[in-house]
Structure formats: structure tokens, C-alpha cells
Amino acid sequence: MPAISRRAFLSSAYLSVALLSAQGGITSLAGPALAARGPRRPRVYTRSEWRADPPASKADVLDRGPDRLVVHHTATANTGAADLEAAFRLSRAIQRYHMRRNGWEDIGEQFTVSRGGYVMEGRNRSLPAVEAGRHVLGAQAADHNDHTLGVETEGTYTSCLPPARQLAALTSLLAWLCDAYELDPRVAIVGHRDLNRTACPGDRLYAYLPQLRADVARRLGGRAPRRLAAAPPWPALPDGSPDGHGESVALVGDLPFEHGPAVGPHDLTRHPRVL
């Protein structure tokens, strides 16, 4: 049998699909194939790329996915430095603070989005866990680390929103995570203050969450996610009730961080198992 070129094969396949469509066999050339595709994974810079320190121990990986994606802000200065190296410095500074000052085994959150719109892997094993549909146990939301994944958004968003490129990166990351874990963004995406008594992720960013959920839902298209219960499985908290988290910050070099040792969501006496 003579060999068929790739171009001839694709042309033949396209013609066959078009004929089926004309006969009512399918409704769209793109429908069945593209509907199954989720949002593309954004560019995530790995721990080796941002030159993370080795963790004190490997993170625990749970054999299931999270049911909530928690949006944080770092409560650091809204710096103008938006290049890739600035993003890498941020991740190293957060890890340094979490490990040396807080005494944790590693950086607490699973992902970080810089002011320049760069996405970094946080806690060790986070990226492979998402790709396997599993969950790395972090240290970012008191009493809820076993079922939530945390995303740090660089900056302080009490009175302003993140820059457009950062919001775009945050939206892409959350869309990919919702698709990977089959989550409904209208329920799954929450702010830190929905779980703990804290001002995080800042009044302006928190008020933006409905728009963020809608933008993520649009990215997911018509695919039906695994639906979550409408009511959260935790007591309602007053919006933005301050506990110092995001209000009084500690300095790490020239970078202030909200995740200090006195901050409730990261109290080691309450969370020895998440470190």
C-alpha cells in the first residue's frame, strides 16, 4: 500500500468530518475535540528555576484534590519591579521567612503570582501533585490546609487592585486549577478571610472575587465541573475581621510579609502536622 503523506491524511480527515457535519452527524468541527480540552497550563516557574532552598522534609501529598482555591495577598509593598528576577527574589524571600522565622519545613503556599504576572511553584511537590489530580498539604489557611490550595498574590490590595498583567496571570492559573481538579469556580474560589479571621486578601481584591470567578468560568467554557455544595462547610466569618494578618507586617530585608509568627493562620501550635 503506498505511503500517505501527513498533509493528505489530514485533508482527507477534514473532508470526512465536513461531510459528516453536512449530513447532521456532528454539529461542529471543533466541538467534540476541543470541548474536551481544558485551559492550557500557564507558564509556571518551578522551584529549581527560582532557586528554592531544599525543604526540611518532603511535603505530604494527599490522594485527592482540594475543594477550595484560596486567594491571598502577600501584604508586601506594591513594588514597581515587575521583571522575572524580581519574581524569583520574592519567592526566595517568602520561603526564607517561612522557614527561618516561622520554623516551617518549607514555603507555606502552593503557588505565587508576582506583580509582573509570573507564576511560581511554591511548596515542594505542588506542581506534580496538581498534574496528578492530588493535593499537597500546605500551611496557608488555619484548620483548612487539608482541603484548600493557596495562591499568594504579591502586593497589598486593601485599597487598590493588582495590575492587569497580574490579574490575567491569576485568572489563567485559577482556570487551570479548576479544570485540573474539576472544580466549579463560582464556589471553589474563595478569599482567605472566608476561612480565617483576617483582612487577607485585602478589601479591594476580595471585592473583585465575583468578577474573578466569572472570568475563570468563561475560560472553562461549557464544560460541566464537579459541582460543590453551595454552602461552605465552615462557620461564616465577619468580612475582613482583622487579626493583624495583612495589617501589621514583619520586615524581611526590605520586604514586609504578612505571614509572621504571631499571625493566627500560621500558628505552629495549631498546625504541627502541616509543616
- Given CA atoms 79, 84, 85, 87 in this order, what sign does their dihedral have? positive
Please choose, from the candidates 109, 43, 95, the residue with its C-alpha nearest in 3D space to the C-alpha of residue 253: 95
- Which residue did the predictor score with more confidence, 36 or 73? 73
Let me know: does 35 contact 113? Beta carbons within 8 Å: no
Averaged pLDDT for residues 95-101 = 96
- The model's pLDDT over 172-202, given as tens digits with 9 standing for 90+, comes to 999 999 999 999 999 999 999 999 999 999 9
Residue 155 predicted with pLDDT over 90? yes
7 exposure class (CB count in 10 Å sphere: 0-12, 13-18, 19+): exposed
- Which residue did the predictor score with more confidence, 249 or 110? 110
Q: Which domains does the chain have, with CATH numbers?
A: 44-50+60-232+247-257 (3.40.80.10)
Instruction: Specify the pLDDT at position 16.
Output: 44
Residue 44 predicted with pLDDT over 90? yes
Band (224; pLDDT cuts 50, 70, 90): low
Q: Give the percent of the chain with pLDDT over 90.
A: 65
Averaged pLDDT for residues 234-245 = 45
Instruction: Specify the pLDDT at position 93.
Output: 97
